[in-house]
């Protein structure tokens, strides 16, 4: 966006909000003169150790330090170069390979598809990886994957699994927090960054509307109830996935020849196959987050669809993601939505939407009316008129455009 000014290598050193506004001090990390900036709004997207969150005195809620054999405790991460790994691997190289044995629990992900990999191993009780050498990295890899490869260590570090934390508040005054600054996951399910991006999308369009005078400042008050609800939901899902894989006990007999080993391997296979589907086949988690209790969603009294990790139930019940549909010309209905607001006018007798257009103009809302006559779209959305927000969430649906002004005002944070 031409309006953005991105300063890589600059650090926020301090900020404060007073009655005269926000003042922040920024300085290049490489040194140099500090600059003072006076933003109207300020967003701390500054990661798990967020100085913005701490400066605002916002506490974490939830659990941390959860201990499991895997994905609960300190993890040792090695970024390695091993051109011979693919040939040495007795199994198909996956998007992710997971090693399960009594000696070492670990996972491996190809980075460049040729020779670079990310290897993450769970530490065992009493181990301290901070002083581990490259030789230790190769030893730990051999424990997990059964072969000592003479790979090159590009970097090694540790990180902590076992967080399930959500900030008590997502900001104060004109300051907001987003991403890992506001919620911290165990990475099972791969939800941390996904949830962070959704925070940015949610806050982004709201800030733009308020700054450009196209919404009431109250619109920003909906950021916390909407995103905190999803952060609590998603960290709970991630914790459930971490329990499913991390509390599984890898018995020594897994590597034993004979019937005892066969039985242990069959039991592990059944559990881990079911687990892989539970953790990674999650359209319900990805598409099913909802903002039912948001002050800027206009409910229609219908029941929300079930919230299930592995099953996504498309629904235009206000507060959730607009359902996808293919159009006769092969496009997705999403490709015809406006960048900002969309009013779907559906059905054989396409309803009159002029009241929405007029109210949208009056409120300076960028609204595009998109008309489709296919009955199946009306059935899918269960209403002839559907208002979709810039973040593709259904804000309202109904039969008549008569309420247009009240609906648009409510969806943009205006008091009744
Ligand atoms: C092993 C592992 C696997 C993961 N896998 C996945 C996955 O598959 N999918 C997924 O969605 N998520 C995954 N995650 C989580 C994901 O990495 C994080 O959720 C994501 O990086 C959070 O993004 P963020 O921008 O909020 O914070 P960060 O990525 O931490 O970025 C914060 C930035 O703010 C900068 N910063 C901090 N303080 C200041 C300051 N004072 N001034 C200026 N800049 C500052 C930092 O330098 C940093 O660049 C995984 C995490 C781990 C550990």
Q: What is the pLDDT of residues 251-309, one digit of tens each?
A: 999 999 999 999 999 999 999 999 999 999 999 999 999 999 999 999 999 999 999 99
Q: Report, in this order, helix, strand and coil percent for the chain, each rounded to 5.
A: 35, 25, 45
Nearest CA to ligand 1 atom 2: 187
Distance from the alpha carbon of residue 45 to the mean position of ligand 1, in angstroms: 9
The pTM score is 0.96
Among 196, 203, 234, say which to mutate for ligand 1: greatest number of ligand atoms within 8 Å of CB.
Answer: 196
**DSSP string covering 83-133:** TTHHHH-SS---SSEEEE-SS-EEEEEESSSSSEEEEEEEPPTT--GGG--
The answer to whether residue 17 scores a pLDDT higher than 90 is yes
Nearest CA to ligand 1 atom 3: 187
Nearest CA to ligand 1 atom 45: 46
246-263 pLDDT, tens digit per residue, is 999 999 999 999 999 999
Distance from the alpha carbon of residue 46 to the mean position of ligand 1, in angstroms: 8
The answer to whether residue 129 scores a pLDDT higher than 90 is yes
Shortest-distance atom of ligand 1 to CA 159 = 53
Among 46, 53, 201, say which to mutate for ligand 1: greatest number of ligand atoms within 8 Å of CB.
Answer: 46
Among 10, 47, 190, say which to mutate for ligand 1: greatest number of ligand atoms within 8 Å of CB.
Answer: 47
The answer to whether residue 242 scores a pLDDT higher than 90 is yes
The answer to whether residue 35 scores a pLDDT higher than 90 is yes
Q: How much is the average pLDDT of 371-380?
A: 95
Distance from the alpha carbon of residue 27 to the mean position of ligand 1, in angstroms: 21
Distance from the alpha carbon of residue 187 to the mean position of ligand 1, in angstroms: 11
Q: What's the token pair of residue 326?
A: 């293919």
Write down the pLDDT at residue 3: 83
Q: Average model confidence (pLDDT) for the chain?
A: 96
Banded model confidence at residue 181, pLDDT cuts 50, 70, 90: very high
- Among residues 206, 231, 230, which one has the least CA distance to residue 220? 206
Phi, psi dihedrals of residue 348, rounded to the nearest 5°: -65, -40
Nearest CA to ligand 1 atom 41: 12
Q: How much is the average pLDDT of 185-189?
A: 97
The answer to whether residue 1 scores a pLDDT higher than 90 is no
Nearest CA to ligand 1 atom 6: 190
Q: What's the token pair of residue 181?
A: 């600054």
Write down the pLDDT at residue 350: 85
- Ligand 1 pocket by C-beta < 6 Å: which residues? 11-12, 45-47, 51, 120, 159, 179-180, 187, 190-194, 196
How far apart, in whole angstroms, are the C-alpha atoms of residue 93 and residue 112?
13
Instruction: Give the residues across from 410 on adjacent strands.
Output: none
Shortest-distance atom of ligand 1 to CA 191 = 11
Cα distances (angstroms) measured from residue 9 to each of 39, 48, 52: 19, 19, 18
Write down the pLDDT at residue 59: 98
The answer to whether residue 411 scores a pLDDT higher than 90 is yes
Shortest-distance atom of ligand 1 to CA 26 = 42
Nearest CA to ligand 1 atom 50: 187
Nearest CA to ligand 1 atom 9: 190
| Lateral strand order in the sheet of 21-28 | 10-18, 21-28, 35-37
Question: From start to end of 224-375, where are the E strands?
Answer: 341-346, 367-372
Phi, psi dihedrals of residue 346, rounded to the nearest 5°: -120, 150
Q: How much is the average pLDDT of 158-184?
A: 97
Write down the pLDDT at residue 277: 96
Q: How many CA atoms lie within 13 A of 347 on its CB side?
A: 17
Write down the pLDDT at residue 416: 85
| Lateral strand order in the sheet of 116-122 | 97-100, 105-110, 116-122, 73-81, 152-161
Q: How much is the average pLDDT of 129-149?
A: 94
Q: How much is the average pLDDT of 205-221?
A: 97
316-349 pLDDT, tens digit per residue, is 999 999 999 999 999 999 999 999 999 999 998 8
The answer to whether residue 184 scores a pLDDT higher than 90 is yes
What 3-state DSSP class applies to 15? Answer: strand
Q: How much is the average pLDDT of 178-191?
A: 97
């Amino acid at each position: 966006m031409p309006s953005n000014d991105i300063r890589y290598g600059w650090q926020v050193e301090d900020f404060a909000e007073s009655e005269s506004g926000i003042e922040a001090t920024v300085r290049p990390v490489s040194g140099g003169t500090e600059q003072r900036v006076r933003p109207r709004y300020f967003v701390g997207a500054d990661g798990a150790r967020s100085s913005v969150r701490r400066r605002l005195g916002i506490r974490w809620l939830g659990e941390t330090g959860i201990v499991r054999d895997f994905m609960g405790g300190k993890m040792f991460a090695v970024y390695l170069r091993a051109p011979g790994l693919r040939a040495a691997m007795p199994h198909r190289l996956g998007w992710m390979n997971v090693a399960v044995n009594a000696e070492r629990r670990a996972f491996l992900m190809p980075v460049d598809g040729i020779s670079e990999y990310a290897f993450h191993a769970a530490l065992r009780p009493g181990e301290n990886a901070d002083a581990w050498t490259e030789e230790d990295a190769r030893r730990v890899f051999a424990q997990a994957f059964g072969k000592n490869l003479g790979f090159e260590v590009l970097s090694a570090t540790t990180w902590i699994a076992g967080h399930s934390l959500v900030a008590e508040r997502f900001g104060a005054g004109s300051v907001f927090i987003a991403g890992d600054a506001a919620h911290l996951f165990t990475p099972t399910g791969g939800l941390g960054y996904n949830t962070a991006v959704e925070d940015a999308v949610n806050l982004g369009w709201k800030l733009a509307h308020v700054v450009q005078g196209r919404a009431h400042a109250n619109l920003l008050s909906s950021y916390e109830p909407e995103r905190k609800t999803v952060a609590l939901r998603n960290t709970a899902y991630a914790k459930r996935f971490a329990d499913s894989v991390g509390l599984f006990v890898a018995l020594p007999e897994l590597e034993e020849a004979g019937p005892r080993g066969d039985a242990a391997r069959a039991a592990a296979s059944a559990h881990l196959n079911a687990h892989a589907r539970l953790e990674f086949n999650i359209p319900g988690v990805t598409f099913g987050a909802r903002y039912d209790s948001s002050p800027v969603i206009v409910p229609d009294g219908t029941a929300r669809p079930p919230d299930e990790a592995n099953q996504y139930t498309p629904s235009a019940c206000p507060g959730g993601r607009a359902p996808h549909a293919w159009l006769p010309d092969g496009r997705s209905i999403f490709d015809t939505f406006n960048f900002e607001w969309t009013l779907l006018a559906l059905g054989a007798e396409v309803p009159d939407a002029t009241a929405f257009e007029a109210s949208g103009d009056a409120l300076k809302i960028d609204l595009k009316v998109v008309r489709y006559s296919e009955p199946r779209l009306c059935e899918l959305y269960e209403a002839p008129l559907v208002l979709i927000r810039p973040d593709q969430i259904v804000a309202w649906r109904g039969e008549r455009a008569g309420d247009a002004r009240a609906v648009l005002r409510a969806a943009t944070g205006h008091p009744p």
